[in-house]
Chains A and B, each alone.
Chain A
Amino acid sequence: AQKITQTQPGMFVQEKEAVTLDCTYDTSDPSYGLFWYKQPSSGEMIFLIYQGSYDQQNATEGRYSLNFQKARKSANLVISASQLGDSAMYFCAMREDNDMRFGAGTRLTVKP
């Protein structure tokens, strides 16, 4: 069964605008971690942001914030003030114990 779902294969956003990338997950474990990674065309995987299942507040890292809605099992990534360099694949991931699962990814294109 799919544990991490990213329903948007591709997204477009105008430079300087905000964009939300969707992620839903499925788990019965009360303790888990949610991550977002960025993969630019150069291929490396860059860690962006982390949210723990017990964290009360939404995580923020610079222009990145994670909209964590635990009851809905969603962990959407919000990128504010998009830049051309944000164009990349974005992966949502969930970790339970030793198991790490990734979503299929969303390709974000920032238009000038």
Chain B
Amino acid sequence: DTAVSQTPKYLVTQMGNDKSIKCEQNLGHDTMYWYKQDSKKFLKIMFSYNNKELIINETVPNRFSPKSPDKAHLNLHINSLELGDSAVYFCASSQDWGGGRDTQYFGPGTRLTVL
């Protein structure tokens, strides 16, 4: 069974469109995350979320919004897509909220291409 899954794996869309990426974890974890990996392989955290708190990286445009219907899901909505949004987006989850010990487990990634 896949621990952290994302759909779709590939997403190609036009500039200006609105799209969503879904993420589900079956690990029973309390906290989920979204990361963006750019073309130079640099990974940057976008959001950290559990049922208590959402932490947004201040550099993330407000066109990006996480939506969590329940503890096992954290979807990423992107409005008015721009060329610079093209990247691989990773979802991750961890058992606890905060603290240095907590290992994050990653989904397979979604490659978004904006034309």
Q: Do A and B come from one complex?
A: yes
**Which residues on A are within 8 Å of B, measured CB to CB?**
29, 31-33, 35, 37, 39, 43-47, 50, 52-53, 89, 91, 93, 95-102, 104-105
Chain B positions within 8 Å of A37 at CB level: 106
Give the shortest distance, in Å, between A26 (CB) and chain B (any CB): 15
Chain B positions within 8 Å of A45 at CB level: 90, 92, 106, 109
Cβ 8 A contact of A44, one of B42, B44, B45, B109: B109
Total A-B pairs in contact (CB under 8 Å)?
63
Main secondary structure on A side of the interface with B: strand
- Cα A10 to Cα B108 in complex, Å, equals 23
Chain A positions within 8 Å of B42 at CB level: 102, 104-105
Between A39, A91, A96, the greatest number of chain B beta carbons within 10 A of the residue's beta carbon is seen for A39
Chain A positions within 8 Å of B101 at CB level: 33, 50, 52
Given contacts A97-B98, A98-B48, A102-B43, contact A43 B104 (CB under 8 A): no
Give the shortest distance, in Å, between B37 (CB) and chain A (any CB): 9
Given contacts A43-B88, A45-B109, contact A97 B41 (CB under 8 A): no
Give the shortest distance, in Å, between B9 (CB) and chain A (any CB): 9
**CB of B18 closer than 8 Å to a CB of A:** no
Give the shortest distance, in Å, between B61 (CB) and chain A (any CB): 19
**CB of B99 closer than 8 Å to a CB of A:** yes
Chain A positions within 8 Å of B109 at CB level: 43-45
- Cα A35 to Cα B45 in complex, Å, equals 15
Give the shortest distance, in Å, between A29 (CB) and chain B (any CB): 8
Chain A positions within 8 Å of B41 at CB level: 39, 89, 104-105
Chain A positions within 8 Å of B104 at CB level: 35, 47, 95, 100
- Cα A33 to Cα B94 in complex, Å, equals 13
- Cα A104 to Cα B111 in complex, Å, equals 19
